A and B are shown apart, each in its own frame.
Chain A
Amino acid sequence: MFSLAKLVKPALGLLAGFTMMAAATTLAAADETRVVFVTHGQSGDPYWSVVKNGMDDAAKTLGVKAEYLAPETFDMAKMAQMIDAITASKPDGMVISIPDAAALSTPVKNAVAAGIPVIIIDSGGSKLTHDLGGLLFMGQDEFQAGVMAGERIKALGLTKAVCANHEVGNSSLDDRCAGFAKGLGVDVPVMNGVIDPTEMKNRVIAYMTAHADTQFILAVGASGAEPTLAALDELGLSGKVKTGTFDLSPTILQAVVAGKMEWGIDAQQYAMGYIPVAMFDLWKKYKIMPIADYPTGPGFVTKDTAASVIELSKLGKR
């Protein structure tokens, strides 16, 4: 005979099982720390790629859930919307870069007001971070790093320099050039470059032809440095006209080892990805947070130290 009870019982059991499983997964999800990065740097950019690697490595090592978000173009309105959206999803910590204080202050304040701990990395600086209620600032003061680069060149007795900027209008690259001029103590013209390596190389050649008295070329990133090295090679000026760069790449490090480049300035941005993940994990578990800002750069990689970091650069850690 057909019995309803016979059918209902296993069905109930199944249902109970599902509910328990669901409860277990929510519990696990609630335990796992979730950190979200919202930055202005596309992960296609070699510099930000290293930040993301740091984040991924920390997440894997510590068993933390970490997400990386950035608008595809330098779009502050979009970045503000992203911060708002992530705030609404209540992560355990947010890591944000602030290249434009006017556009991003309000969403960052809103995130803080919603009770989400916030760490600012790369751009924004210490004062802004604390004004907005951020816990701490991690990064390299680009202007100050430029000043230190300028002072080193001044110490070599060089005065005629140019700043080869492959992305004029990007404020942190502009700061690097401006700081460099301050440190050197003389006017430094900015050469407008491009991402395209052939055009960049040929522009450096053209600039050097028209300004043959230039003694030092500062590149403000790997995309400018590699073509600059090629240009000096082609002009037969390799090693005669000195050059140095911000950021590292295997090619840059090899040039430093070979004496074709004075130094590469390492912002150690891997730490900007790795450490906030670890900090938020500690914060969530034990309410532990460092009390001071964390400057990651500038670290000058010179002939003595370059060889030891080439492999790390190939792996995207430096």
Chain B
Amino acid sequence: MVSEIRDERVRSVSRLSRLLSRPELGAAAGTVLVFVFFAITAGSSGLFSAKGIVNFLEVSAQLGILAAPVALLMIAGEFDLSVGSMIGFAGILIAIPAVFWGWPIWLSLLLTFAVCGGIGALNGLAVVRTGLPSFIVTLGSLFMLRGLTLGLTRGISGRTQVSGVHELALHDPLNSLFSGQVFSGLIAGLADIGLIGKRADGLPSISGIPVSIVWWIVLTLACTWLLTRSRFGNWIFAAGGEANAARNLGVPVARTKITLFVMTALAAALFAAIQVLVTGSADTLRGTQKEFEAIIAVVIGGTLLTGGYGSAVGAMFGALIFGVVQMGIFYTGIDTDWFKLFMGAMMVIAVLFNSYVRNRAMRSR
């Protein structure tokens, strides 16, 4: 019985040091650092009230929905710079058939997810077929999609914003899936016993948890499962680590990458669906710079820009840091002219701290 003999080449690793070597550890530490900073500078200002927490979580959630699949794609060694433009494009695809052609919202949502998934597949195909860097291919799609969005919208509506989605979505079966609130009853109960503050008009300060936050958590968990518990996850790491070696071992590198491009495109469509149904309007400028924000969140989360290493949970922490820093400054009372300086500095400090903690953890192994 060979299996009973311990192979001396396999080192036994304790649970603790396994935990310490997880890519998201540094990001978690960075998150704690950012929270401590705001607890000190803005602790009593309402940032950590129910309203304040939902406030930054909503921003984090929308970014996090993008960041989870972007993390997977970056681990596989590719970039998708078209997700920001895809958000604008998807928003228009939802709004125009509904507002101008009288389609039910659920149908225009289906169309949007189908078209965006298709464009994602085209991105992926272009990358694996041409062998061009995905940075270049998707930079091309970034501009093409933005131009297509503007041309279509102005051609059909004569404007660049399409509003009036709210009224149309009111009774749509899919509306609450993207723009709804969850745990409303629980929140009302907590407000009754005084755990959640009330507004001037007596209503609870929040009416529920935006459903985007649920999407964020579910997507992150799904991506984590995919990455760490499925065969597809091994393919992702292999494709990003050393694509040729992976191919020689029989990993379908091309198919893996195309699938991941479809996933990032679908995440952009989901982002757009949430934003269009929550705000009730679509705009050709939506999603501007989101591609970079998603990459920032993923990198803060400990994923390597070169691929082969990273995690979806890390991207979640990255998005959380981003959201807290984005909103936190407004509670500190600092003049908001300094906003970008402050945000950039916080980001760099969080990433530095992140890599410091990770290096310490790796050394102790």
Contact = CB atoms under 8 A, between A and B. Distances in A.
Interface of A: 43-46, 49-50, 52-53, 168, 189-192, 195-199, 201-203, 205-207, 209-210, 222-223, 226-227, 230, 235-237, 240, 249-251, 314-316
B150 A190 contact: no
Nearest to A202: B55
B331 A226 contact: no
12 contacts: A43-B154, A44-B160, A45-B285, A52-B154, A53-B158, A189-B336, A190-B337, A195-B285, A198-B62, A198-B275, A226-B163, A251-B281
Nearest to A230: B279
B283 A192 contact: no
Contacts of B288: 195-196
Nearest to A254: B163
Contacts of B59: 198-199, 202
A197 B159 contact: no
B47 to A, nearest CB: 8
Nearest to B52: A209
Contact of B56 (A53, A191, A202): A202
B337 A168 contact: yes
B113 to A, nearest CB: 20
B161 interface: yes
Nearest to A50: B159
A242 to B, nearest CB: 15
B102 interface: no
B336 A251 contact: no
Nearest to B202: A236
Contact of A190 (B55, B157, B280, B336): B336
Contact of A197 (B46, B150, B164, B275): B275
A217 to B, nearest CB: 14
A211 to B, nearest CB: 8
Given A49-B158, A50-B159, A190-B336, 7 more contacts: A197-B281, A198-B278, A202-B59, A209-B330, A222-B161, A236-B203, A250-B163
Nearest to B204: A236
A254 to B, nearest CB: 9
Interface of B: 45-47, 49, 51-52, 55-56, 58-59, 62, 146, 150, 154, 157-161, 163-164, 199-201, 203, 275, 278-281, 283-288, 290, 326-327, 330-333, 335-337, 339
B286 A45 contact: no
A227 B339 contact: no
A203 to B, nearest CB: 6
Contacts of B287: 196
A24 to B, nearest CB: 31
A205 B279 contact: no
Contacts of B333: 210
Given A198-B279, A202-B56, A316-B159, A43 B326 contact: no
A53 B283 CA distance: 17
B278 A191 contact: no
Contacts of A49: 154, 158-160
A209 B45 contact: yes
B336 A210 contact: no
The 10 closest A-B pairs by CB, nearest first: A206-B330, A316-B158, A236-B199, A192-B336, A316-B159, A209-B46, A49-B160, A236-B201, A192-B339, A197-B279
A207 B330 contact: yes
A210 B275 contact: no
Contacts of B339: 192
A314 B332 CA distance: 40
Contacts of B157: 316
A189 B337 CA distance: 10
Contacts of B285: 44-45, 195, 223
Nearest to A231: B55
Contacts of A314: 159
Contacts of A250: 163-164
A230 B286 CA distance: 17
A236 B51 CA distance: 12
A317 B249 CA distance: 62
Contacts of B160: 43-46, 49
Contact of A240 (B51, B163, B200): B200
A250 B166 CA distance: 13
A230 B279 CA distance: 8
Nearest to B288: A195
A235 B287 CA distance: 25
A198 B339 CA distance: 17
Contacts of A223: 283, 285
A201 B199 CA distance: 17
B275 to A, nearest CB: 6
A207 B280 CA distance: 23
B159 A46 contact: yes
Contacts of A210: 45-46, 330-333
A168 B338 CA distance: 11
A46 B161 contact: yes
Max count, chain B CB within 10 A of own CB: residue among A49, A199, A206 = A206
Contact of B163 (A202, A209, A251): A251
Nearest to B55: A202
A236 B56 CA distance: 19
Contacts of B327: 202-203, 206
A221 to B, nearest CB: 11
Max count, chain B CB within 10 A of own CB: residue among A196, A250, A314, A315 = A196
